A = this chain, B = another copy of it.
Amino acid sequence: MNFSSRLIEEAVSEFSGLPGVGRKTALRFVLHLLKKDKKEVQAFGEAFIKLRNELKYCTTCHNVSDQEICEICANPNRDHSTICVVEDIRDVMAIEGTSQFRGVYHVLGGIISPMDGIGPGDLNIESLVAKAGTGNVKEVIMALSTTMEGDTTNFYIYRRLKDQPISISTIARGISIGDELEYADEVTLGRSIINRTPYANSLSLK
């Protein structure tokens, strides 16, 4: 595509670097920005520069935060002896959205993926091991994706923590609520039978 303007060419290149955005979509974004007034576009560009320069990560759980310690870690009403291990901040938001978890989080910043060149050293695992060794932690809940990479990361962390006097659990895998049994895959259905839960438990859920 010939954009007849170097400025448009540059802006399209920047947008098309975003995940899932091709050059046609990028051009659509650029034309949208051109219809806005200068102040709005100024605010648009500055929001990202400010974000990158000013955003802090919580020194305890590695969640994003405007402070040194994030709101969740600073909250005395939360159970600091239960740590939920997640891949990134989107998972924190998803679990917070359920209002079912009152403990604290630990954000790994990714999962072990040799294909993408991500090893245990690239993730926030050492600080988790250190936290688990303080004696203040009773339970670590692994809440990673149910993929090959997620399972590898689960196993690596399990090996690092298994000698500590803490219980290590993973979130339940089973049939999603609202799913028809006949369409469930065999692995999930098999696991859901092995890991069956007492019926009385489901009655107590609100």
Chain B residues near A64 (CB, 8 Å)? 3-5, 8, 34
Chain A interface bracket (under 10, 10 to 19, 20 to 34, 35 or more): 35 or more
Stretch at the interface among A12-20, A175-183, A190-198: A12-20
- How many copies of this chain does the complex contain? 2
Whether A51 pairs with B8 at a CB distance below 8 angstroms is yes
Contact of A7 among B28, B33, B51 (CB under 8 A): B51
A112 touches B (CB below 8 Å): no
Stretch at the interface among A85-93, A144-152, A155-163, A165-173: A85-93
Check A46–B49 contact: CB distance below 8 A: yes
Q: Which of B29, B72, B90 contacts A18 (CB 8 A)?
A: B29
Q: Is the Cβ of A51 less than 8 Å from the Cβ of B19?
A: no
Cβ-defined partner of A5 (8 Å) among B43, B47, B65:
B65
How far in angstroms is the closest Cβ of chain B from A24? 8
Let me know if B42 and A7 touch, CB within 8 A. Answer: no
Interface string of A55-85 (1 = CB under 8 A from B): 1000000011110001110000000000000
Residue among A30, A34, A47, A97 having the largest count of chain B Cβ atoms under 10 Å: A47
Verify if A100 is at the interface (C-beta below 8 Å from B).
no
Q: Is the CB of B30 within 8 A of A51?
A: yes
A5 to B63, CA, bound (A): 10
* Residue in contact with A51 in the complex, picked from B4, B34, B54, B63, CB distance below 8 Å: B34
A14-B43, A25-B20 known; A97-B5 Cβ under 8 A: no
Nearest 10 CB-CB pairings of A with B: A45-B45, A41-B52, A45-B49, A45-B48, A11-B51, A14-B47, A7-B51, A5-B64, A11-B47, A14-B44
6 contacts between A and B (CB under 8 A): A7-B47, A11-B48, A19-B32, A33-B51, A41-B48, A45-B45
